[in-house]
Amino acid sequence: MASRQRCPRLLAQLRPRVSPASHCRTTPIRRARYSSSSEPKNSSSNTGFTIGIILTATALGCAATFAYKYPLPARPARLDEPTLADKDALKKREAVIGNDSPMRLRMEKFIKEQQQIIVKELERVDGKKFQVDEWERPNGGGGITCVLQEGNTFEKAGVGVSVVYGSLPKAGIAAMRANHKSLDPNLESLEFFAAGLSMVLHPWNPMAPTVHLNYRYFETALPDGTSQAWWFGGGSDLTPSYLFDEDAIHFHKTLKEACDKHDKEYYPRFKKWCDEYFVNTHRNETRGVGGIFFDDLDETERDQENTFAFIQSCLKSFLPSYIPLIEKRKDMPFTEAEKAWQQIRRGRYVEFNLLHDRGTAFGLSKPGARVESILMSLPLTASWKYMHEPKAGSREARLVEVLQQPKEWV
């Protein structure tokens, strides 16, 4: 965590970056990229940082299927050809990103704008400022991690964007074809792009729920830079320590409205998917009261433009789904016993993220991972009490019942 800056500085991210070498025709763009990087220039670190970036993209939870299924080798050396990252960097310098720009650049722009909007609103609620860490990667892409730790409302809040350019080997392409038939299994390697926004908010007040969100876009590209396969994934889910039915209903209702604008079947399908993914199987409990979760939304379902519109609706529904809840609960009175129960529930959150979340597990098993980004989703404090059982008939017991048998909220 090198720099301490305000999130509004992120605006700089949306402006085109001009490096002197980029205008010099005789200087390969790749050199310009390396020279602007603070990363070690040692090529043996390629595997480490490629995987590290993937994990950054997936740091907050559910984005990891990609990285989990397809471990990446060192990037092949093709110094003669501009990469997808080079081409995108050039496009960003040459023109304003608009509706006819490639989806990669539109998604990156969208999630960076949303990150700023969300961070600003959370700063308003909390009264304290986020710490902002921006990084770039030598092979293109980078990220912005915003963390507010020990705020007035939030014990820990993380809102991160990451953009990844990498190369997928033959084995990875073959494995990915399971979900994306349009991929050509005869290619030796394939460039890919991944961009995502991830967030976890842990409030201090035990009456205020934890919330998680992640929306991401993947694309593979042919050597000429044209898109070969693309898909979106993501979701948002709520984890209360004390269950207020009206809060769960409001959260689900807001998500359902966002889904219904695009397809009436999305909400029931993605609500179920969420209940099935965020489960502490060893405890027979879901992590929280759910929300929506989905992956591999591609052209077999709906065209890219409409799918992007759906993702935009989902992400834009975040603030209306959560801000009324945090405003209502953040200053409620609570007892020491209630705080202790929150700490036990936080422990369950940690159990899910460390034991079951695929992105976290994969990330921590690899050298060179950006550990702080991967573990940004963990709460500041949590506890484990031996053989703790809530009293029968208590509010705590009711929460556990609901987590064992997920409800339909809307």
Piece of the chain touching ligand NAG by CB under 6 A; list 150-158, 229-237, 278-286, 336-344: 278-286
Taking alpha carbons only, the member of 377, 384, 343, 349 closest to residue 363 is: 377
Q: Tokens representing 259?
A: 């889904």
Of 382, 380, 342, nearest to 150 (Cα)?
Answer: 380
* Rounded Cα–Cα distance for residues 226 and 214 (Å): 26
Interface residue with ligand NAG among 65, 286, 312, 377 (CB under 6 A) is 286
Give the nearest distance from C-beta 270 to ligand NAG in angstroms: 17
Minimum distance from CB of 401 to ligand NAG (Å)? Answer: 10
Shortest separation between residue 241's beta carbon and ligand NAG, angstroms: 17
Instruction: Report the distance separating Cα 39 and Cα 256, nearest Å.
Output: 43
Which of helix, strand or coil describes residue 290?
strand
**What sections of 80-131 are H helices per DSSP?**
84-94, 103-126
Q: How far is the CB of 115 from ligand NAG (least distance, A)?
A: 32
Question: Given the complex with ligand NAG, which of 144 and 248 has the nearer CB atom?
Answer: 248
- Pick 235 or 290: Cβ nearer ligand NAG: 290
Cα distance between residue 121 and residue 132, in whole Å:
15
Q: Does 279 bind ligand NAG (CB under 6 A)?
A: yes
How many other CB atoms are there within 10 angstroms of residue 387's CB atom?
4
Pattern 235-274, ligand NAG, x by CB under 6 A: ----------------------------------------
Structure letter (DSSP) for residue 16: P
Neighbours of 43 (CB within 10 A): 11
How buried is 185 (Cβ within 10 angstroms: 0-12 exposed, 13-18 middle, 19+ buried)? exposed
- Residue 284 interacts with ligand NAG (CB under 6 A)? yes
Q: Using the rule CB under 6 A, is 394 a contact of ligand NAG?
A: no
Q: Among residues 180, 212, 250, 262, which one is catalytic?
A: 212
Query: Least Å distance between CB 237 and ligand NAG?
Result: 14
- The one-letter amino acid code at 307 reads T
Instruction: Choose which of 86, 155, 247, 285 interacts with ligand NAG (CB under 6 A).
Output: 285
Q: What is the DSSP string of 57-81?
A: HHTTSGGGHHHHHS---PPP--TTS
Q: Any contact of residue 401 with ligand NAG (CB under 6 A)?
A: no
- Taking the least distance from each CB to ligand NAG, the nearer of 394 and 404 is 404
If binding means CB under 6 A, how many residues of this protein chain bind ligand NAG? Answer: 5
Query: Is 212 designated active site?
Result: yes
- Residue 307: count of CB within 10 angstroms of its CB: 20
State the minimum distance, in angstroms, from the CB of residue 292 to ligand NAG.
Answer: 17
- The smaller minimum CB distance to ligand NAG, of residues 231 and 277, is found at 277
**Residues tagged active-site:** 212
Residue ranges binding ligand NAG (CB under 6 A): 279, 284-286, 404
